[in-house]
Amino acid sequence: MSQLSPLSSRQALAQRFRRTRLDSEALTETLTPEDMGAQSMTEASPSKWHLAHTTWFFATFLPLELEGPNWVTLFNSYYQTLGHPFPRPRRGLLTRPGLAEVMDWRAEVTEAVVELIENAVDEEWGVLVPRISLGIAHEQQHQELILTDILHLFSQNPLAPAYRPYRVAELRPPSALAWIGYPGGMVEIGHTSTDSFAFDNEGPRHPVYLPPWRLASRLVTNGEYLAFIKAGGYRRAEFWLSDGWDTVQEQGWSGPLYWRWQDNKPFALTLAGVQPLDPAAPVAHVSYYEADAYARWAHKRLPTEAEWESAAASLPLAGNDLASGLLRPLPALAATGTPAQMFGDLWEWTASPYTAYPGYKPGAGALGEYNGKFMVNQMVLRGGSCVTPANHLRASYRNFFPPNARWQFAGIRLAEDG
Amino acid sequence: MSQLSPLSSRQALAQRFRRTRLDSEALTETLTPEDMGAQSMTEASPSKWHLAHTTWFFATFLPLELEGPNWVTLFNSYYQTLGHPFPRPRRGLLTRPGLAEVMDWRAEVTEAVVELIENAVDEEWGVLVPRISLGIAHEQQHQELILTDILHLFSQNPLAPAYRPYRVAELRPPSALAWIGYPGGMVEIGHTSTDSFAFDNEGPRHPVYLPPWRLASRLVTNGEYLAFIKAGGYRRAEFWLSDGWDTVQEQGWSGPLYWRWQDNKPFALTLAGVQPLDPAAPVAHVSYYEADAYARWAHKRLPTEAEWESAAASLPLAGNDLASGLLRPLPALAATGTPAQMFGDLWEWTASPYTAYPGYKPGAGALGEYNGKFMVNQMVLRGGSCVTPANHLRASYRNFFPPNARWQFAGIRLAEDG
Amino acid sequence: MSQLSPLSSRQALAQRFRRTRLDSEALTETLTPEDMGAQSMTEASPSKWHLAHTTWFFATFLPLELEGPNWVTLFNSYYQTLGHPFPRPRRGLLTRPGLAEVMDWRAEVTEAVVELIENAVDEEWGVLVPRISLGIAHEQQHQELILTDILHLFSQNPLAPAYRPYRVAELRPPSALAWIGYPGGMVEIGHTSTDSFAFDNEGPRHPVYLPPWRLASRLVTNGEYLAFIKAGGYRRAEFWLSDGWDTVQEQGWSGPLYWRWQDNKPFALTLAGVQPLDPAAPVAHVSYYEADAYARWAHKRLPTEAEWESAAASLPLAGNDLASGLLRPLPALAATGTPAQMFGDLWEWTASPYTAYPGYKPGAGALGEYNGKFMVNQMVLRGGSCVTPANHLRASYRNFFPPNARWQFAGIRLAEDG
Amino acid sequence: MSQLSPLSSRQALAQRFRRTRLDSEALTETLTPEDMGAQSMTEASPSKWHLAHTTWFFATFLPLELEGPNWVTLFNSYYQTLGHPFPRPRRGLLTRPGLAEVMDWRAEVTEAVVELIENAVDEEWGVLVPRISLGIAHEQQHQELILTDILHLFSQNPLAPAYRPYRVAELRPPSALAWIGYPGGMVEIGHTSTDSFAFDNEGPRHPVYLPPWRLASRLVTNGEYLAFIKAGGYRRAEFWLSDGWDTVQEQGWSGPLYWRWQDNKPFALTLAGVQPLDPAAPVAHVSYYEADAYARWAHKRLPTEAEWESAAASLPLAGNDLASGLLRPLPALAATGTPAQMFGDLWEWTASPYTAYPGYKPGAGALGEYNGKFMVNQMVLRGGSCVTPANHLRASYRNFFPPNARWQFAGIRLAEDG
């Protein structure tokens, strides 16, 4: 055994890997095989597919010895260099292999990876660790998608099924909106190259010059967003980007994706079924277009990702994330001088299109297709949400979605020039 | 008890009803809940939906006392007068109610209908019998659709799953094509109003004048159709109706829906998975456009529905239907002076658009939506197929599909002027 | 000179040909080159294209010696056997050749055809006469389309330009609706093979058996149709064919194509611009779906084409056609025992899908593409309209359009069982 | 006369205004009214519309006294706050008002603006000057679009008409590709607030930190791009952004928009008709997706807009622009130590999404809709092209188009990290 891979670090990696695999499976405990097979729109995938695709990742990128079936084309997501992926809009038609078979395959791959970790010779270790770490991070991303996608599926069903009843959360009174100022100047953003994991798109770390700015102390609430709607927000073109306004017209948007009105009162479809809207909780499931329009109506703007990251860099990595088990964003705690809700609760749309940092180069081969090829037509979101795995909370993490996407747990934080 | 409803006729109806319900369920024995939940295209429906919708029919149109759930909006197909049906393209998203719940509901409704039959007072009997008979015929139509739709679903899966292995059938050598002449003149078509069941669109029986014609002794075979393809059939506009040619171009058709080429040899995706193409078996899964183009290439034409019915009227109601359990069309028996394969094997496209017979009037209320409102943009098919329930074989039965539909078990019989 | 082609008959043909060419050109007198170049939808064509395409017909199917440009691909409409036609939806993009060049080409072709007529040797005469006659009839069809298409183009312009001010017509009071009975039995329909011209789809003449029926004495009026609308006609699914109802929903139909409401009063966009709706005039610019729905609401039905032709056969070939110059349908004259408005005023939707008559065979070669290849997904209209050239009025003439087409001058005549 | 508006400055503005108006009209000299009315795709507009819309701008935003027609809704492009603009995809259907009427309206508005300039009281002057200057710049943008849009229209015509024969240009041998290094550090970009005109999106001027970089000495040539195609550029997914690859597949791209192959030799459709491809001239009419894919294949990248502007800031504002009258990009002059072709020849795709500069705020009211509302889903292009009016050449000018746009005169300049 070399210094690089003492027994303890092997055990730690194996344990982290196993834990991730079990976490994914635990997320589907309340779902039926039928729930897990359906695909509600092109952008969402069946839970079974998520469980299979994360398995495919390890089976494809690690030298595993497997006896079971070979489903590498079937569960390839978008890696063009690995052959033609099965068409994304038809993932819900893969009723075979069935869930049980997929779970068997998962188990076989899980054991094979653990064995690989335990038996890898030192020469392999340097390649294995980053690949397995990437596989774990990849699987955690899909954990979040299992939840966002099942919510979307259930939203299509007139019976409005619940994924799980809500657990009780502490009551929090509404908190006033305050503004926190930052001096600006030269700052550095991007992942610091220590030994902790980060995706390639979080680097290289680099200097950025920022003018002074101010950040809202908390996310925009349902109550505030309701005022925007009542002020004609969805009927007044002047608040909207041109593409946003076209989308509002074409899709007939009149409020956030999951809002429902019953007896003239607002409700929201949630992972716990239809629930009354809490005016103090942050508004969720809005697109970039809506976030931007709200900001314009409020005479503010959205923060850039550099402003967000710079403000977040010194905050503790804690928040209402998947580990809380609450599955919903909570009202903010009272203002304290630092911005609340930066980590967890909801992803925050930034004003920054998703592009490469200076000096960024994607890796070679298929793994290089991970992040770089999506760097157009998408906006960056920051901070994680109530369904984000805990160790995906970090200041440098860059999530990205097209500006019309609404089914993620995304909300709005305002900013203004300082 | 009145004369209309002696114990024996009640028992007979109850038995027929129960048998139909069990037959439907037996068709899904080899399917998983996942298979039964997926919808592969707008025109096809999940097996679970078929089982639920046929139940909905009885629960809606009969005065049943049910304690269980009320899913009448969810499983309404297209009856606009009964409220907004759930959107057809999204039937695969109804993962709840799950299959087990649907089966429980089926059982409850089955028992309630049997009870209704057994306890109906004489005044109700006259209304009940035609409604239940219609419900049985309706459910049998969906039995066929369960099979056509699952084949389409499996065709979308690269693993090409089999619904069931084929049962062995007798070997039949190819049979030569002969022509059977009919004198024409005044004939009558349409259902004869005896006590046997028929759909409203099969009547009124009425006279039609026909010039002499001749009918092919059997269906067009795979081998013959292959010759059409090799002669450039799909690349030569002169054989095609204008709408047909547009469809060929837009959809990139180059052969029947389920044909596959492997190592330069033709195969077909079937209910038994991928199978070598039998040149003597009739070509299946072609659209009206293809049937018509083939006929033009062969310097023949398709028969009208009146020609077909007139020729079929004197033939025995027997053929290779669902009861054979073979699940595929067979080569024709040697010519005998009467046309072979008229009943069973494959539905036969006719040259007749689906319209009302003279004097046809749909019934009042929601049940009147059954047939009449589809009388445009569709072509009539006759004769039943290898997946048609046996008692749907009759000379007057009018099936109908749009001219571009290919997922039904439909084939080609040629005709010519006499 | 043979008996077939005495000087007089040559002169007559040449004169008829020249007259047709001039008539087409006269129809565009009030139009600008810009008006004549634009295409408002795929189904409509620019006037310039109509003038060019009718010229193409002669240049393609006659052995002309032409020195000018060769635009045979450019102005081919749909003859697949003559090379790839220029894509139909883009006809409005052919700004070159300009109108002046097209008119020069027209003139050259016109003279060349006249010369051909005058100098043809007897052996050619037998081929030439039917081709030129077909070319004349073809051009007359496009005369009508010049008017229907320019009306559609102008309907897209908020300025609502007028093609021409209306000429004054006699005032006619509303006429009561009466019913005219026909005994039915064996009738013959189809063109009688005398020496007069007819399209191939009007034959062969053949016997048809008809039950007794009754025909409305006149077309449905704007006033009557308004009552249908006010009774919720466009909001009640029970009146509509399923495809019709889908179209109403998707297209947001709430009245005939060109109706406009101003100050709560109904107007119609016409060839004379926006005009108040005359309640006694027949309702125009409705689709088959609307005609059928209106009939169902009125507890009547549409006539079959055999019923229509049988009733029309004995009527004089006269009516409010293009020759009247009125360019709009007029209120019916008082009932007289025979149906009014059968010829001219508006095309009348029949209940008959457009199919081949028994024994019909399209001609060989490209000219065979004229009628037969459209015999699916279309409904037959009969009788001609106020923009139909006079000699297209005949009992056997079969016009056809898809059931959703509304830009033709089409209306509704009711029928019922006798 | 106040100091703000001496006679000379009034005369200068009036002259500049008149000149711009005449320039626009001169661009259409070789076009027919038909050419000027057609719209070849949603993104392009008819020349007549451009002439009318630029007139609308002055008629809407200036207090003119006009006697003529009021076409403000008709020719509004996208100003939602000024009522519903006429639908963009249907601009080619506005055959009325005709070209002559539009030209009359133009003349009336031109004179009214001149009169306004000459007679404005001093209080108005401060508002008038920026508005008229904006109107002039706006009209110049549309001058370029007249040319790009007519080229696209002609590209749809199989006759491949020429806008104008090419004027002879000096012969230039191919020039080798060199790299010019920049040290980076803190730079300033954005328009310097002197009295020269700039659009609002070019400011505020602000500091940016840049790492060292290198810029190609010239644009990528046709010959180099051909090598990319021959290396399988359009068939190898690894070079493409994910959205780019999807576009290549869906649109069937296999080369730049206007390339044509004849006898296995490459040609391009140009404003002078079909011309042989000059391997030394820069490749034109490529999308951002293609520019980015080419760069990845070449192991380079595209410059950011800050890198581009920083490099361009010290270069003379001269190049092959609209004033040269050449209407095509020329091969680069031999490398000199500064990058060639920065201004004129072709717009250069940058790696920068089009977003707001720090502190940017759009103006109030309808004029504020000018630039800001397009700041999503578009990429910045820099430098101007051979069809850009001369005074639109400046280092800070930000052009923007969606990443799939190809009909602009856009090309590729490579960059790399320093």
pLDDT tens digits, one per residue of A211-262: 999 999 999 999 999 999 999 999 999 999 999 999 999 999 999 999 999 9
In chain D, the percentage of residues whose pLDDT exceeds 90 is 84
Position A218 in a domain:
yes
Position C162 in a domain:
no
B337 touches chain A (CB under 8 A): no
Q: For an interface test with C, which of D70, D72, D95, D159 has the most C Cβ atoms less than 10 Å from its Cβ?
A: D95
Interface contact C34-D35, CB threshold 8 A: no
Comparing C-alpha atoms, which of B164, B281, B172, B166 is closest to residue B220?
A: B281
Q: Is pLDDT of B5 > 60?
A: no
Of B96, B98, B158, the CB nearest to A73: B158
Of D74, D86, D99, the CB nearest to C34: D99
> D237 or C1: whose pLDDT is higher?
D237
Interface of C with D in 199-258 (CB under 8 A): none
Q: How confident is the model at residue D1 (pLDDT cuts 50, 70, 90)?
A: very low
Q: Tell me the average pLDDT across B226-237.
A: 97
Of C34, C74, C95, the CB nearest to D98: C34
pLDDT of D4-15, one tens digit each?
456 678 999 999
Exposed/middle/buried for D172, CB within 10 Å: 0-12, 13-18, 19+?
middle
Whole-number average pLDDT of chain A: 94
Rounded Cα–Cα distance for residues A417 and A414 (Å) = 11
Instruction: State the distance between the two ends of chain A, measured CA to CA, in whole angstroms.
Output: 55
Whole-number average pLDDT of chain C: 94
Residue C195: its pLDDT value, please? 67
Q: Tell me the average pLDDT across A260-286.
A: 96
Residues of B whose CB is below 8 A from C352 = 355
* Among the ranges given (A349-353, A375-379, C7-11, C142-146), the one the predictor scored with the smallest mean pLDDT: C7-11
Q: Is pLDDT of B101 > 90?
A: yes
CB C120 within 8 A of CB C109: no
Nearest residue of A to residue D205, measured between CA atoms: A211
Residue D4: its pLDDT value, please? 47
Rounded Cα–Cα distance for residues B116 and B113 (Å) = 5
Q: Is pLDDT of C6 > 80?
A: no
Interface contact B35-A96, CB threshold 8 A: yes
Position C172 in a domain:
no
User: Considering the entire predicted model, what is its pTM?
Assistant: 0.96
Residues of C whose CB is below 8 A from D32 = 33, 95-96, 98
Position C51 in a domain:
yes
Same domain, B132 and B226: no
Q: Is pLDDT of A71 > 90?
A: no
Q: Tell me the average pLDDT across A262-282.
A: 96
Residue B212: its pLDDT value, please? 98
Q: How confident is the model at residue B335 (pLDDT cuts 50, 70, 90)?
A: confident
pLDDT of C275-302, one tens digit each?
999 999 999 999 999 999 999 999 999 9
Q: Tell me the average pLDDT across B340-359.
A: 98
| ipTM for the predicted complex | 0.95
pLDDT of B198-217, one tens digit each?
999 999 999 999 999 999 99
Nearest residue of D to residue C160, measured between CA atoms: D96
CB D321 within 8 A of CB D384: yes
Q: Which two tokens stand for residue D265?
A: 């030799």
CB D51 within 8 A of CB D59: no
Q: Tell me the average pLDDT across B360-375.
A: 85
Same domain, B12 and B126: yes
> Could you count the other beta carbons within 10 Å of the beta carbon of residue D313?
14
CB B258 within 8 A of CB B155: yes
Same domain, D291 and D407: yes
Instruction: State the distance between the two ends of chain B, measured CA to CA, in whole angstroms.
Output: 55
Residue C73: its pLDDT value, please? 81
B97 touches chain A (CB under 8 A): yes
Same domain, D26 and D112: yes
Number of domains chain D contains: 2
Q: How far is B291 from chain C (nearest CA, A)?
A: 13
Interface contact C373-B288, CB threshold 8 A: no
pLDDT of D371-413, one tens digit each?
899 999 999 999 999 999 999 999 999 999 999 999 999 999 9
Whole-number average pLDDT of chain B: 94
What are the CA-CA distances from residue A101 to residues A96, A107, C377 (Å)? 8, 10, 47
Supply the range of the domain harboring residue D136.
7-155
Q: Which two tokens stand for residue D391?
A: 């005074």
Of C90, C153, C156, the CB nearest to D156: C90
Nearest residue of D to residue A208, measured between CA atoms: D209
C99 touches chain D (CB under 8 A): yes
Position A170 in a domain:
no
pLDDT of D180-215, one tens digit each?
999 999 999 999 866 689 999 999 999 999 999 999
Same domain, D249 and D374: yes
What are the CA-CA distances from residue D391 to residues C164, D219, D243, D318, D321 (Å)? 47, 22, 35, 9, 9
Angle between helix D47-61 and D7-26 (nearest 10): 160
Of A40, A73, A86, the CB nearest to B93: A40
> C335 or C345: whose pLDDT is higher?
C345
Same domain, A94 and A199: no
Q: How far is D13 from chain A (nearest CA, A)?
A: 32
Position D411 in a domain:
yes
User: Where residue C89 sits, what CATH number does that domain have?
Assistant: 1.20.120
Same domain, C225 and C273: yes
Q: Token match 């039964």: residue?
A: B36
Comparing C-alpha atoms, which of D411, D397, D413 is closest to residue D140?
A: D397
Residue D3: its pLDDT value, please? 45
Rounded Cα–Cα distance for residues C351 and B256 (Å) = 32
In chain C, the percentage of residues whose pLDDT exceeds 70 is 98
Rounded Cα–Cα distance for residues D340 and D325 (Å) = 19
pLDDT of C235-253, one tens digit each?
999 999 999 999 999 999 9
Residue C3: its pLDDT value, please? 45
Residues of A whose CB is below 8 A from D371 = none
CA C392 from chain center: how many Å?
9
Residue A194: its pLDDT value, please? 67
pLDDT of D24-42, one tens digit each?
999 999 999 999 999 999 9
Same domain, D13 and D142: yes
Q: Is pLDDT of D350 > 80?
A: yes
Residue C153: its pLDDT value, please? 98
Residue A366: its pLDDT value, please? 79
Q: How far is D148 from chain C (nearest CA, A)?
A: 15
Residue B6: its pLDDT value, please? 64
Position B371 in a domain:
yes
Rounded Cα–Cα distance for residues C76 and C55 (Å) = 10
Residue B169: its pLDDT value, please? 87
Residues of B whose CB is below 8 A from A93 = 38, 40, 153, 156-157
pLDDT of B119-169, one tens digit each?
988 888 989 999 999 999 999 999 999 999 999 999 999 999 999 999 988
CB D381 within 8 A of CB D410: yes
pLDDT of A290-334, one tens digit each?
999 999 999 999 999 999 999 999 999 999 999 999 999 999 998
In chain B, the percentage of residues whose pLDDT exceeds 90 is 84
Rounded Cα–Cα distance for residues D199 and C133 (Å) = 64
Whole-number average pLDDT of chain D: 94
Interface contact A186-D209, CB threshold 8 A: yes
CA neighbours within 13 Å on the CB side: how many for B252? 0
Residues of B whose CB is below 8 A from A157 = 93-96
Same domain, A407 and A328: yes
CB A329 within 8 A of CB A166: no
Last residue within a domain, chosen from C100, C120, C155 = C155
Tell me what percent of chain D is helix, strand and coil, each rounded to the nearest 5.
Answer: 40, 15, 50
Last residue within a domain, chosen from C139, C155, C171 = C155
Residue B196: its pLDDT value, please? 84
Residue D5: its pLDDT value, please? 53
Same domain, B130 and B261: no
Position D26 in a domain:
yes
Q: In this complex, does chain C touch chain A, defined as having at least 3 beta-carbon pairs under 8 Å apart? A: no
Q: How far is C270 from chain D (nearest CA, A)?
A: 16
Q: Tell me the average pLDDT across A143-169.
A: 96
Residue B195: its pLDDT value, please? 66
Q: Tell me the average pLDDT across C388-413.
A: 97
User: Where residue A190 sits, what CATH number does that domain have?
Assistant: 3.90.1580.10
Q: Is pLDDT of D2 > 80?
A: no
CB A192 within 8 A of CB A212: no
Same domain, D125 and D230: no
Same domain, D77 and D223: no
